[in-house]
Chains A and B, each alone.
Chain A
Amino acid sequence: MLEVFLGILTAFGGFVDIGDLVANSETGARFGMRLAWVVVVGVIGIVVFAEMAGRVATMSKRPVFDVVRERLGARWAFVNLGASFFINLLTVAAEIGGLALVIELVTGLNYLLWVPLVGIAVWIVLWKLRFSLMEKVFGLSGLALVVTIFALWRLDPGLHRTVQTVGFGPPASEGWAVSASFAIAPLGAAMTPYEVFFFSSGAVEEHWTPKDLMVNRMNVYLGFPLGGVLSLAIMGAAAVVFEPRGVSLSHLSQVTLPVSLAFGKIGLVLLLYGMFAAIFSAALETALSAGYTMSQFFGWQWGTFVKPREAARFHLVVVGSIVVGVLIALTTIDPILITEYSIVLAAAALPLTYLPILIVANDPMYMKDKVNSRPLNAIAFVFFVLLVIVSVATIPLMIITKAGA
C-alpha cells in the first residue's frame, strides 16, 4: 500500500520539468486561463500514452524503441531514432540550462558558470545512485512545487479571477495562428516522449508482471493528473499576477514572482527547491532516455540494473548526451528558447512513437488478454488524429507566427 502511495507521489512530483514551468507560465501570462483546456487534453494524452507503453512493456517485455523498430522497419525506425534522439538532446540541454538558471536565482552568479557543474552532478548521480532511489528522492522532492497551488489560492482565494478567463477556444484578441502556436507548447510540455521512453524501459528493467499492471495504472491515472493540476496552478499563478499587468514571461526569474508575492521567503525556498528537484529528475530521465532509445534500436545491452561495464555503449551514449547538452547550453543560447524549441519539436514528433505503441497495444500475440478495450481505443485513436494534426501544423505555424512577430 505504501509502495502504491509512494509511486503516485513520485509520478506527481516528477511530472513537471522546465518545459512545463516555461510553457504554462508563458501561456498563463499571455492568455490567462483561456488555454487551460490544452493542459487537460495534454494530461489525458500522456496518461493514455504512458499507460499503453507501460502495459506493452509489461506484457511483451519490449520497451518502446524495440517496438518502434519492429513495427516501422529498419529504415523508418532509423529516421525516427534520428529525430527522437536529436530532440532528446535538445531537451537535455534545456533541463541542464534550467537547472543552471535555478542556481543562478539562488546565488546571483551567472548561469553559464553552473552549466558544466550541473552536467557533472547529473552524471555522478546517474552513475552512483540506484535507479529506484534516484527516482524517489527527486520525485518526492519535486512535490515542494505544490507551494504554487497554495500560492494561487492565496493570491486569488476561491479562484474567482482565475476561472473567469477559462474558455475552450482561442482568445478573441489574438489571431488564430498565434493562439494555435501557443497552444502547442503546454500540450508538448505535458506529452513529453522521453517520459514514455523512460517509463516503458523502467517497466522492463523492474521486470513488471501482469500483477503489477494495477500499480502501473494507479501511478499513471492518479499521479499524472495531479501533476496536471500543478501545471494548471503554474498557469493560474502567471495568469493572476502577470496578465493584468501586461507582463509577458521571458525569463525563469519571473516564475518566482507569484510565489514570492503570496508567501514571501518561505514560499520561495520551497519553490526553488521543488524546481531544482523536478528539473533534476527530468535531466536524469532525458539522459537515460537517450541511452534507452539508441540501445533499444541497435540491440545493445542497456539498463541501470546491470553494471556499467556490462552496458558500455549504453552508458557512453548517456554520458555523451549530457556532454552535448552541456555544450549546447554553453553556446549561450537562451535556455528558455532551447526549452521552447524542444517542447514544440517533441510535440511534432509524437505520432512517430505513438502509432507503433498503439498498434502493438492491440495485438494479442504480444498483449495476451490485455489488449486495448474498445473505449480506450476510441480515445487513443482520437488522440492519434490530434497528434498528427499538431505534428503537421507545427512547422507552418511557427513560420507564420515568427513572420508576424
Chain B
Amino acid sequence: MRLADLIDSRLVDADGRDIGRVGDVWLIQNGPPIGVFGAALTVDALVIGRFGLASRAGYEREGVRGPAPIAWYLRRRTAHRQVVRWSDVLAIEEGRIRLRLREGDLGRPSIEDVRTTGRRVSAGLELLDRQLVDPDGMMAGKVDDLAIELKDGGAPPVVTEILAGPGALARRIGGTPGAWLASVDARLRGGSRDPAAISFGVVARIDDHVTLTVSREEVATFGFEEWVRDHVIEKIPGS
C-alpha cells in the first residue's frame, strides 16, 4: 500500500468511535536490511490530526521562534496531538484503521519522547516532498509518496520504495486537481498508471534532501525527461 493511503485514513477506536484522521506517520530505522541504506524504515506510530501548515511550519520544534504572532497561532494548533503506536493497530480496512485502544488511552508524546533504538523520521516533515539528488548532484524528482509493505503477525510495515512522479503525486494532492494531474500524466506516459518506484535500497542518506546511489538516468522518473530531451531539446542547435 502507499503512505498516501495511510495518511487521511480514518481511525476507529476500540469502542467503534471515529477519532480522527491520520495526519503524519513516524518511521523508525529498525527493519530488515535493504541495500545501501541499511536497516529499512518501518512504521512506528501514527499521528492523529490534520497535517497542515501548522505542523509543517515546524513550530513544534524548539528554537523556531518568530514572527511572534504566527508562531503563537500555529503552536496552539499543533501542540501535542494524539499518537497511536503501530502495536495498537488492530486491522487495516478500506480507508479505515481499527485500534485496540480507546481514545482516552492514547498518549500525546512528541517525536523526541518516543525513545527506542534507531533513527526516527517524521514522514510528513522530513521525508515526503524532499528533493531526490543523484551522486552527480543532479536532481531526480521528489519523494512524492512511499510504498509500504504490510507484514503478517503484527510486525510493523516496512517502507520499501520511494514513489515519484506525477502518478504518485496525484494521489497525495487528491480531489479534482489530483485527478487532473493523474490523467495528464497517464496521457504523457502512454497509459500506464503505476507511479515510478525507486527501491529504498538505493538511498544513500536522508538529510535536507535524499541522496541516491544511482544516477538519475537509471531512475524510472527519467522517462519523461529523456523523451523531452530526445524529441525536443536535442533538435535545437546549441543544446
Binding site for B on A (CB under 8 A): 60-62, 66, 69-79, 82, 127-128, 298-302, 306-310, 312-313, 315-316, 355, 358-359, 362-366, 371-372, 374, 377-378, 380-381, 384
Contact = CB atoms under 8 A, between A and B. Distances in A.
Nearest to A297: B142
Interface stretch (B11-19, B27-35, B87-95, B170-178): B170-178
A301 B138 contact: yes
A301 B225 contact: yes
Contacts of B71: 362
Nearest to B216: A301
Given A69-B142, A308-B233, A374-B66, 6 more contacts: A74-B129, A74-B173, A312-B232, A313-B225, A363-B58, A371-B66
Contacts of A364: 63-64
A66 B143 CA distance: 12
A66 B131 contact: yes
B169 interface: yes
A309 B71 CA distance: 43
Contacts of A362: 64-67, 71
Interface of B: 51-53, 56-58, 61, 63-71, 124, 128-132, 138-142, 144, 164, 166, 169, 172-175, 177-178, 181, 208, 216, 224-226, 228-229, 232-234, 236, 238-239
A312 B216 contact: no
Contacts of A372: 66-67
Contacts of A75: 172-175, 177-178
Contacts of B58: 359, 363, 365
Contact of B70 (A66, A127, A312, A358): A358
A300 B67 contact: no
B232 A316 contact: yes
Nearest to A128: B238
Given A70-B129, A71-B53, A362-B67, A300 B239 contact: no
B64 A363 contact: yes
Nearest to A373: B66
B130 A70 contact: yes
B181 A78 contact: yes
Contacts of A307: 239
A71 B108 CA distance: 23
A204 B178 CA distance: 30
Nearest to B175: A75
A299 to B, nearest CB: 4
Contact of B56 (A62, A66, A72): A72
Contacts of A363: 58, 64
A363 to B, nearest CB: 5
Contacts, number: 125
Given A127-B238, A299-B164, A366 B67 contact: no
What are the 7 closest A-B residue pairs judged by CB atoms, nearest first?
A299-B142, A312-B229, A381-B67, A377-B66, A377-B67, A312-B228, A299-B141
A82 B66 contact: no
B219 to A, nearest CB: 11
Which secondary structure dominates where chain A touches chain B? Answer: helix
28 contacts: A60-B208, A71-B53, A72-B53, A73-B52, A73-B124, A73-B129, A74-B169, A75-B174, A75-B177, A76-B52, A78-B181, A299-B132, A301-B140, A307-B239, A308-B236, A309-B233, A309-B234, A309-B239, A312-B232, A312-B233, A313-B225, A313-B228, A358-B67, A359-B57, A364-B63, A365-B58, A377-B66, A381-B67
Nearest to B231: A312
A87 B228 CA distance: 25
A308 B239 contact: yes
Contacts of B177: 75, 78-79, 82
Nearest to A382: B67
B228 A74 contact: no
Contacts of A78: 169, 173, 177, 181
Contacts of A128: 238
A183 to B, nearest CB: 25
Nearest to A381: B67
Contacts of B56: 70-73
A309 to B, nearest CB: 5
B185 to A, nearest CB: 11
A173 B234 CA distance: 60
B39 to A, nearest CB: 24
A381 B141 CA distance: 33
Choose among A72, A127, A310 the residue with the greatest number of B CB atoms under 10 Å from its CB.
Answer: A310
Nearest to A378: B67
B139 A302 contact: yes
Contact of B236 (A73, A74, A127, A359): A127
Contacts of B174: 75
A316 B231 CA distance: 11
Contacts of A300: 139, 141, 225
Nearest to B63: A364
Contacts of B139: 299-302
Contacts of A381: 67-70
